[in-house]
Structure 1
Amino acid sequence: MKVLVTGGAGFIGSAVVRHLIRDKQYGVVNVDKLTYAGNLESLREIDGSPLYTFEQVDICNLAELQRVFADHCPDKVMHLAAESHVDRSIDGPSAFIETNMVGTYCMLEAARHYWLSLVGEARESFRFHHISTDEVYGDLHGTDDLFTETTHYAPSSPYSASKAGSDHLVRAWHRTYGLPVVVTNCSNNYGPYHFPEKLIPLLILNAIHGKTLPVYGEGLQIRDWLYVEDHARALVRVVFDGKVGETYNIGGHNEKRNIDVVHTICDILEDLRPEKPEGVDQYRDLITHVADRPGHDLRYAIDASKIQRELDWVPEESFESGIRKTVEWYLDNEAWWSRVLDGSYQGERLGLSA
């Protein structure tokens, strides 16, 4: 069994690659352009495995994608490659349109032509799994309503709009050309190997360095938090057992206000790292409220009952267990995040002296 994973050097993608090789013993072809968020050091535990192959390819390069399909003949495709940072999409939306929409188009075309070349069981079992986000749904204004697989799309940012567009392309390729696709939309991920620009790793690393902990507005935005290794298990379950043409929402059943996430991290650090930077009395003293981002959605919450009912998947981690594991990982893995912060991880991947 061979799975082609795009964006496999990213946060969620690397968790999927590790899970496929370590736990499933499947072959993996990792296709990644290696933008700033792609870090091959996140894959060191499986690097060198005979099951693993890396291809540094831009998903917007259709000819190269066609070569990858021809060379490696994958049984399944898991398409995770995407620009995913909302603030970056507000500052520079063009990269999001290019990668998330044009790149997805190129992946669909490469996969479609490859699929049409298959015969028998190989063609019957081929799947194109498109991994998306709950942000395509916009936000929720009530306290009890949830995003379901039939919730209307109402994206708020250039990032979520580009992901919504890519979702529509995938469904169109299924309806028009018959390409066997499945789609998943997930809630906010967190866990090991998360790029430090994202909320949870940013808070952890800022706190241990005595820097401010920025909170948008009053921090009342609510997110459903999903531990990344739970998400990886769900994604693999969907690509192998999901029904063609279906969408599955994946959530952690862990709704938290942003300010409560910040408080929880501070409290865990008080326990695990009581020796604070000079001038810091309590980690919570570092919290600083900043102006809210434009178009900031208030609440996301996933109804994940379909994937539980049809594919027997539930998250193994509660937020309390997962966030503690995450803080512990960052405290124990300074070698990884320090090379991200100083940029030397990019030098290594390009063969330069760090």
Structure 2
Amino acid sequence: MTQTTTGLFPVTDPDRHAKGRQKMHGLALYTKRVWETSRSFETSLCKGPQPDAELIALDIAPALAAIRTLDLEVIRNGQSPADQQRYLDLQDTDAQGQVVRGLVLARNADVHLPAALDVHADIDLGDVKWRVVPQWQPYASLPHVIRTSTGTKPSSHAAYRHTVGGHRVIETLLDAFAFFLLCDPSLARRDSGTGKLAYFPLAGEMVVLGDYERRHPDHLNREEMAARTLQLAQDNPPTGTGREIRHSSTCDGSVLYCGRTGPGFFRDFTEPGMQIVRDIRAGYPYSVVYADGTPPSPPGRTSSCTWRANRLITTSFPARQGGGGQCRTTPQTATSCTGTNVKERKASAGCALSWTTEAGPPSWERPDRY
């Protein structure tokens, strides 16, 4: 989220600004404590001491109180009536503003309701040991008294359901901090020499293997990082010198193609047709294994792949002995093949094969792209 020099909702009242500075300092400090408490547990997946989620919840409570004070007393009530409405409108449309609104439900439950709002202590594999990653309970798993509470506005219930429940606690606290920075960057405590935010990035070498872990309010959140990683994977051809398409299958109504990357870099791949079209457009070579299973190395035993009008097309597909039927040889009139094993597909003399590329969302199974 882009920040401005003065912020969208600067706090001009000196007393409110001083309180806001104090609460932003507290929010950074409480976020750091939640992080450190989560990292401090010695645990394992199936045995050994299990994490005490109550210790994490106790550190979260003051962070929720600071978020509510910043939201209501410091920023919203520090604006003119017209700007107060503009602030609420921003929360309606801004993803991080929605997190702030959803955390109101968590704060109100902690302060005003008899049921405890527990967090889920998920256990993931770190670089050298198992570690705890606290997550908010999904809305449907909250105690009945919280879900039916009328003391919290329906908009906060909805915001919790969509932007807080099931998400990592640290991620939501960083989202709230980033939202308040957008409103008034002067509220944050910074290093006098560098101007960088105090307490961030969250320290520690422990990471969750194979996953992205946000440690700074200015960093991308998990959804944004996933979208950017997917875009990079789609826009960049895979490694290796080429790919062999060996099989196709249908998953959730979409056709996926799988095979090997190589030579010299043999790794399995699974791709939808549209991603293969993108790769071919970028100059990356694909081939299809001959119908009888012969590897593509001998000359004339495989097809080469080209793209035309958003269709993945194999040209010069060789004849299989004993194949029945006749078909035309031009790619424009190629025979359509769906949901079959390439090795079991019978190719008649001179027959070209084609695959439509309406294959749905791209596959995440692209380990050789990273």
Same fold (TM over 0.5): no
Structure with the bigger RCO (C-alpha within 8 Å, sep 6+) is: 1
TM-score range, shorter chain: under 0.3
Larger Rg: 2
